[in-house]
């Protein structure tokens, strides 16, 4: 499995990142931010889709500080239990630092054109939103991020394109929280928020239990347009 090694900025070690390269380079880099299931087949499928669009996909193992190589699914109760355990103990500020290190590494990768965006799902959707507020990534795309209403105080720090995909029936993000995000981001110069009717959390997880082909296709098209515009 092709990968690169990235040095953590706090000096605690190195972590791996799964890589899929496009047919043509130089190309922009897209950092794929994992769900609570680790860099699993769903994330590898996202990476393949990104590479097919002509970008270098880099999916860092953000759970490496807990246990390297976590690879779970949404198909068994045991995997769900383990995934939620990982979510509870995951250090999000450390995760952001690892993502910043991944963005920096992406800018200088062989075949890269120096431009880097992030795209995240679930936990990764929250982290992508945080990256828009805390990093120099050229664009950030958030799919059904959780608890985004708690991040609205720093919207003035968003200076690059941020796309927010919200599921209208998200079982992990209460309606009042979703409404707060929609209201707070409305009219923001750099943020575009979309709500997908009758879609549940993880509607864009290929092969997932809540896959919604219509919502996923529309959201992915919007994401692709932003990536092309920003990364070239």
The whole-angstrom separation of Cα 32 and Cα 108 is: 17
For the record, the structure tokens of 123 come out as 């936990």
CA atoms within 13 A on the CB side of 106: 32
Give CA angle at 25 (228, 216), nearest 5°: 35
Looking only at the bridges linking them, the beta strands covering 27-33 and 139-143 are unpaired
Catalytic residue among 170, 190, 210, 212: 170
For 14, 16, 144, 147, the CA distances from 198, given in Å and listed in that order, are 41, 36, 13, 19
**Active site includes 201?**
yes
**Active site includes 212?**
no
Catalytic residue among 61, 74, 138, 201: 201
The whole-angstrom separation of Cα 63 and Cα 229 is: 31
Query: Which residues form the catalytic set?
Result: 170, 201
């Amino acid at each position: 499995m092709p990968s690169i090694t990235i040095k953590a900025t706090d000096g605690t070690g190195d972590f791996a990142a799964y890589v899929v390269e496009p047919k043509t380079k130089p190309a922009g880099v897209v950092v794929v931010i994992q769900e609570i299931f680790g860099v699993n087949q769903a994330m590898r499928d996202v990476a393949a889709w990104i590479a097919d669009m002509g970008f270098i996909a880099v999916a860092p193992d953000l759970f490496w500080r807990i246990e390297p190589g976590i690879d779970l699914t949404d198909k068994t109760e045991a995997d769900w239990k383990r995934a939620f355990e990982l979510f509870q103990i995951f250090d999000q500020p450390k995760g952001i630092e690892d993502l910043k290190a991944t963005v920096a590494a992406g800018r200088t990768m062989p075949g890269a054109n120096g431009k880097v965006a992030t795209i995240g799902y679930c936990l990764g959707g929250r982290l992508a939103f945080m990256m828009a507020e805390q990093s120099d990534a050229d664009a950030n795309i958030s799919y059904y991020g959780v608890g985004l209403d708690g991040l609205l105080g720093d919207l003035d720090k968003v200076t690059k394109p941020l796309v927010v995909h919200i599921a209208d029936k998200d079982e992990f993000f209460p309606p009042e929280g979703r409404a707060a995000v929609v209201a707070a981001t409305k009219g923001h110069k750099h943020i575009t928020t979309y709500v997908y009717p009758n879609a549940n959390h993880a509607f864009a997880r290929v092969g997932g239990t809540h896959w919604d082909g219509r919502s996923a296709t529309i959201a992915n098209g919007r994401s692709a347009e932003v990536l092309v515009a920003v990364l070239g």
